Structure 1
Amino acid sequence: MHRSRDPGHESPGVTEARGASLAGVHWQQPACVLTHGNDYETPPPTNLSVLVCVGNRSYTRAHSHSIVASDTGLFSSSLLTMHTSTALAVLVALATITVLPLSAYAEPALGDELTAAEFFAETGLAECADLTEAETGYFFESGHETGISRSRCTLGGSCQCEQLDTCDSGDCFKVYRCNATESDGCFAVANCTRARFDTAMEVTVDCNRGLPLDERGDEDLDFFAMRWKQALEQDCGISGRLCRYYGDTADSIHVINGTTFRTTTLNSAHVEDLAVCAATANFRFNRCTVVSVVEVPVTTTTTTTTTTTTTTTTTTTTTTTTTTTTTTTTTTTTTTTTTTTLPACSYGCEESVEACIGKAMFSPNNVREAFVDCMAQVSHHTDSAFVSFGICLADCGDIDANTTRDEAGPILFCYRMCAFNTADMDCDVLYTSSTVSTTTTACLSATPVGSAASGGYYWTDVVFAENGIGYACPGFATSVMTIDPTDNSVNETVADVSAYGTELKWGGGVYANGSVYCIPYDYETAVLVIDTSDNSISTIPVTNNCTASCWWGGALASNGKIYAAPQGALELLIIDTATNTADATIDAASLAPGAPYRWTGGVTAFDGRIFMAPWNSKKILVVNPDTDSLSTIDIPDVGSAFADFVMGPSGRLFGIPATATFILIVDPVVDSLDSTSITGLPSGNYKWYGAGIGSDGLLYFTPNSATTILIVNPDTLSLTSRASPVNECNGADVSEAGAIYCTPGTDDAFLVIDPSMCAA
């Protein structure tokens, strides 16, 4: 089910061997050494062609597209979480061994190496840098003790720019001049041009020390502004998006009075994020507490100066007939100041809902009731629709003074969903990430999907392809859905599958050979194949006696075949991705007699065997792809179900607890089990269904009926949790940038986990 765990699939943070670049700068590092380590008894495969070093891990890419990992590596995980201009990017170091010579990749013609001081003096960078491809410019080589560091710029309006600084951390880049070259490895460096924002917000603060804001000088206000930006990150969790907020210096804040100032941001959703933070978190800086944040109309001020000159001439005549003329000039200056407020907005449905959210957040009493009162005045519901709106809101919960920011996020998401999904007057907003703001906590977000509704497994898994796009296999849904992690945009109508019915058609998916293969569940007669080159679909016929709940999830082996877990089916399903044929003739049910729903999911271990998780059998199913033989490993007889396995960095497998109250740990080296190290989980059914390994090396278990995300440290076996903005998720996968995505099952939003912004 999880591409990150299967050979032929990108492991978290790993891209194909294609000379990956980060933010347009060509990065190069020496080859890492693949060692098998003392923890492994089996030798490494012999058909390896490319060695990829990522973080503190190394992966080898074989001709068969399998990945074998070991515990070596050259670079710290902090490099994995650097931001590009549009999204998180992954630092990939590429080195070749026998099959792909290094000369296969074009290298720029390099000139002198520059010290950091020489580079900054030569480029004249004042703040942030804009990097563009050029035949001459600079080449950046990673993996050095000293040199230059790179991060996303945090200055307001500089989201497309990079922060380059002197570095001595060991994770630094050397800089070389580029001579004229046809290579795309060189970049021109210039001072960043900052974008202008036109969404104004008014911030009210309560300062217990220091001068009122309107009595502070520019130096004090510069410091005040600097601490304001720090508080956005530290108190409100706005780390990767600081560049979307102004207020960096005295020049970018406008003091209104002793307790109020104004600044600007990208859009209304960013104002709301701060409003929620002010209402639910300890939002403090520079000995001031933020009382409120509200969006205000943008105003323009025009000053007109009129100068009038009056000349008076006095003539005095004396007896000596001498005439003296005295001229007195009086100048009167009149200054007229006109403040022009932009015309009042004519709010549409989306703006009305967002405005009511903001107004309700500052209600002194019941936030939900305040939201209802506000929506009653904006005229987007008929009487019957408004009743439906109220019924929907009853399930959303309320926000009070004790509600934390993480808790408020999913509640506000629920408010929006109810408002948009029940409105029937002048409201045709499609509730997707492209039209409705993403609900975000410090490291978690929910990207809405418009057509899903509670009550069905709409999409059962998400699988990221080599093109970077995530493909969601349809369960009850009548179309294939995609999500683009660069902007989290969702397309629910990629391919129509309504001809295959409305049953729970396919359960889980696996990526191989440029296509996503969706595993037949209730649509037992065919595998769905999604060609990611053109998003076309086809099917592979399956001949078997199973009629329902047949197979769920699977894994790709080094031989290019997918092995699907038999849940209700009696036989193992094998899909040959080279010939697009299927075989379901190998008996598996006899290994788990009496179990109606036997196994789910699958993960390929380092030794090439595939481990399938026990649902209500008492055994783990183990597939040897070399011989297509099956074996089992007994588990404790505690009546527990596991939805799948996720593989940790050391190669151990962790069972995803659907109904179990513990996490099952399997060591494939000796086939040993551990059911006692991580225990005490709450009881319940279908609690967690998916999981992924983050770029930080931690395991993130995504919730179905549970309301929290489990976070496991696979080295220390410690367990923490975070409140999730959505639940009812199914399968999960890891994007190329290292974020974990969980597909909408019965909820109507993708859950997105960004490990670079999480502190477990």
Structure 2
Amino acid sequence: MIRGLLAVFVVGALCRVCPGNVVLEEDGAGAFHINTSDPHQQPVFVNGMDVQQMYTRLQEQQKLIEVQQDMLGAQNLAIQTLGNTLHVFRSASCPASARSTISAGSGDYKWNGGVLAPNGHIYAIPAAATAILIIDPNSNTADRTSITHSGISGGRKWHGTALGGNGFIHGIPYDSRSVLIINPNTKTIDTTTISGISGYQKWHGAVAAKNGFVVGIPRDYYKALIIDPITNRATRHSISGLPAGDVGVGGSYNSALRLDNNLIYGIPRSAPAVLIIDPSTNTVDTTSIAGISGGTWEGAAQAGNGLIFSVPYSSKSVLIIDPKLRTADTTTITGISGGRKWHGTAPGGNGFIHGIPYDSRSVLIINPNTKTIDTTTISGISGYQKWHGAVAAKNGFVVGIPRDYYKALIIDPITNRATRHSISGLPAGDARWYGGVLADNGLIYGIPYRVGTCLVMDPGC
């Protein structure tokens, strides 16, 4: 250990004239210094390595690395440009389309949403219809005669459905007093095992939990519904802060999504808090993310950064929920004017989130990383009550489900283009389809509500 100042004067033993001095010293911090009088003429060697020359080479290598990084950046940009060009050519070779050729029978308020079963068929849940609608994507046919039952009577029976862990399909009670259980293998139903549930406009929408449970989202009811398909038991959990009975237009919650941690988040409509349901512990939480006000939202999607973005319906702000911090933000993206703006949302293949125009004249594009929005790139779309609900297609496109509009909406997030595909043979009217289901063949099927045909949307390739 060298302590204090140590100076070694190297006398020119190996040379006749001493060109300078070498100083070795320890500073106050304990660092060891080696200095020569002229670093350029008197290099310092460590184990035979010229320190100054090594430093110079490192600088040269750093400059070379920076040049290579610039080249890689230019190459990545060129690859992205070529990829976008290829994307345009590929889309042109198999363009998107929409048709309404699968007959589903006459009548109003027929089915409320559907779900894809393990056998590849889509099962639509009756609202006023008296049969289960079974759509076969392979043959593009619809069957409304195989599953009929005396228990399928009345109007506004079930609203929303999800696949349980046992492979059975569960319809969520709206005005019905029972849970609808469909066995897709035997094409039979059960409306007696989980029954005796009084009330009207109770739940609408369902989410399949990772543990196989099915969760019903409250509309006017003040309890969350958690169904265990294995034991065929349904528990109803009271939610604090919600009044019993009709809570107003649209209900307390109008959408929900499941996160990777198996928690289910209900997005508030008229409720003052985010509804957090834990199916694994059969518990609900409306206190962690509370105090939310300022309008309503319709639909939500989780971005790649883990944040949940809900699109504004009457609200002037995008609702941003942070599941890790258990916070809600309505101030970062705000100042959005208008009522009944967007209804439904889905993430595009580029990671951006797209809000589907209801009365708005534009598609809402949310950048989750910068927390900014774009309402000008895809705009100029006239009309009211155009689409409600969105489905993320296999090719990264986002598809809007027509409500009163006579065209299907297909959004290409890469090119930021939205095409509206006319659907021939549609009668005048409203609320034509309710919900869309992505089939194994990549096509999206709109569930008939007040129209006599299924909508088949091909997002292209």
Pick the TM interval, shorter chain: 0.5 to 0.7
1:507 alignment counterpart: 204
Which digits, 9 at most, give the CA deviation of each residue in 1:170-227, with x for residues without a partner? xxxxxxxxxxxxxxxxxxxxxxxxxxxxxxxxxxxxxxxxxxxxxxxxxxxxxxxxxx
> Counterpart of 1:723 in structure 2: which amino acid?
I
Confirm or deny that 1:562 pairs with 2:264: yes
Cα pair distance change 1:569/1:415, threshold 3 Å? closer
1:600-639 → structure 2 map (5 Å cutoff): 600-632=298-330, 633-634=333-334, 636-639=336-339
Instruction: Determine the C-alpha separation between the residues in 2 that align with 1:706 and 1:555.
Output: 26
2:236 corresponds to: 539
Asked if the contact 2:102–2:454 (Cα under 8 Å) also holds between the matched residues in 1, the reply is: no
CA distance in 2, matches of 1:614, 1:654: 12
- Scaled by the length of structure 1, the TM-score of the pair is 0.38
Q: Could you give the per-residue CA deviations for residues 9-41 of structure 1, whole angstroms, max 9, x where no partner exists?
A: xxxxxxxxxxxxxxxxxxxxxxxxxxxxx9xxx
CA contact (8 A) 2:436 2:444 kept: yes
Query: How far apart, in 1, do the equivalents of 2:313 and 2:218 lie?
Result: 17
2:69: which partner in 1? none
Q: One-letter code of the match for 2:401?
A: T
- Quick one: which amino acid aligns to residue 255 of structure 2? G
Structure 1 628/736 Cα, relative in aligned 2: closer, same or farther at 3 Å? farther
| 1:481–1:696 CA distance, 2 compared to 1 (3 A) | farther
Q: Structure 1 residue 666: deviation in Å?
A: 0.7
Structure 1 position 680 matched with structure 2 position 377: no
Match among 706, 720, 725 for residue 405 of structure 2: 706
Say whether residues 1:460 and 2:460 are aligned partners: no
Matching residue's letter, 1:559: N
2:61 is aligned to none
What RMSD in Å do the two structures reach over aligned CA positions?
Answer: 4.3
Distance 1:505 1:736 in 2: 32
Task: After TM superposition, give the deviation of residue 477 of structure 1 in Å.
Answer: 4.0
Offset of residue 606 of structure 1: 0.9
- Residue 519 of structure 1 deviates from its aligned partner by 0.9
1:521 offset after TM fit, Å? 0.9
The percent of aligned pairs where both chains have the same amino acid is: 25
- Secondary structure, in 3 states, of the residue corresponding to 2:305? coil
Contact conserved, 1:608 with 1:624, CA < 8 A, in 2? Answer: yes
The answer on whether the counterparts of 1:508 and 1:731 sit within 8 Å (CA) in structure 2 is: no
- Do 2:105 and 2:452's aligned partners in 1 also have CA atoms closer than 8 Å? no
Give the equivalent residue in structure 1 for 2:396. Answer: 697
Distance in 2 separating the partners of 1:720 and 1:659: 16
8 Å Cα contact 1:564/1:602 also seen in 2: no
Q: Work out whether residues 452 and 748 of structure 1, in 8 Å CA contact, stay in contact via their aligned partners in 2.
A: no
Alpha-carbon displacement from aligned partner over 1:398-439 (angstroms, at most 9, x marks no partner): xxxxxxx956655x8338999xxxxxxxxxx965447xxx69
Secondary structure of 1:414 counterpart: coil
Deviates more, 1:580-589 or 1:444-453: 444-453
Match of 1:554, SS?
strand
Q: Deviations over 1:696-736 (max 9, x none)?
A: 43322223333443222222223232528895444444456
Of 540, 558, 579, 2:281 maps to 579
Contact persistence 2:309–2:319 (CA under 8 A): yes
Match of 1:644 among 341, 344, 350: 344
Q: Which has the higher helix share?
A: 1
What is the CA distance between 1:637 and its match in structure 2? 1.0
Matched with 1:661 is 361
What's 1:516 paired with?
214
What is the aligned length? 332
For 1:657 and 1:486, the matched residues in 2 are separated by 38
Distance 1:468 1:696 in 2: 27
Amino acid at match of 2:175: F
Over 3 Å counting, the alpha-carbon distance change for 1:700 and 1:564 in structure 2 is same
Counterpart secondary structure, 1:537: strand
Q: In 2, distance between residues paired with 1:452 and 1:704?
A: 25
Q: Give the direction of change, closer, same or farther, for the CA distance of 1:415–1:587 in structure 2 (3 Å limit).
A: closer
CA distance in 1, matches of 2:102, 2:440: 26
SS at match of 2:227: strand
Aligned to 1:112: none
- Residue 476 of structure 1 corresponds to 175
CA pair 546-565 structure 1, distance change in 2 beyond 3 A: farther
The answer to whether the 8 A contact 1:447-1:750 is kept is: no
Instruction: State the 1:484 CA deviation.
Output: 7.6
Name the SS of the counterpart of 2:336 in structure 1.
coil
Rounded Cα–Cα distance in structure 2 between residues aligned with 1:469 and 1:638: 42
For the 8 Å contact 2:316–2:337, the answer to whether it is kept is yes
Q: Following TM superposition, by how much is the alpha carbon of 1:473 offset from its aligned partner in structure 2, in angstroms?
A: 2.8
Structure 2 Cα separation of the partners of residues 660 and 483 of structure 1: 38
Letter in 1 for 2:243: C
CA positional deviation for 1:490: 7.9
Q: Could you tell me how far 1:657 is from its partner in structure 2? A: 2.3
- CA distance in structure 2 between the aligned counterparts of 1:452 and 1:728, rounded to whole angstroms: 21
Alignment-derived partner of residue 50 in structure 1: none
Q: SS at 1:619's partner residue?
A: coil
Q: Deviations over 1:604-645 (max 9, x none)?
A: 111111112212111111111111111122153133432222
Deviation for aligned residue 1:651: 1.4
- Secondary structure of 1:678's counterpart equals coil
Confirm or deny: 8 A CA contact 1:708 1:723 kept in the other structure. yes
Structure 2 Cα separation of the partners of residues 463 and 660 of structure 1: 30
Q: Give the 3-state SS of the residue equivalent to 1:654 in structure 2.
A: strand
Within 5 A, what are the aligned runs for 1:30-429?
Answer: 406=99, 413-414=105-106
d(CA) in 1 for partners of 2:271 and 2:107?
Answer: 42
Say if 2:106 and 2:451, in contact at 8 Å, map to a contact too: no
**Structure 2: any 5+ residue segments left out of the alignment?**
1-72, 74-82, 88-96, 111-128
Provide the TM-score with structure 2 as the length reference: 0.60
**3-state secondary structure, aligned to 2:105:** helix
C-alpha spacing 1:703/1:541, structure 2 compared with 1 (3 Å): same
Q: Aligned partner of 2:105: which letter?
A: F
2-structure distance, mates of 1:705, 1:494: 36
Q: Residue type of the partner of 1:680?
A: G
**3-state SS of paired residue (1:569):** coil
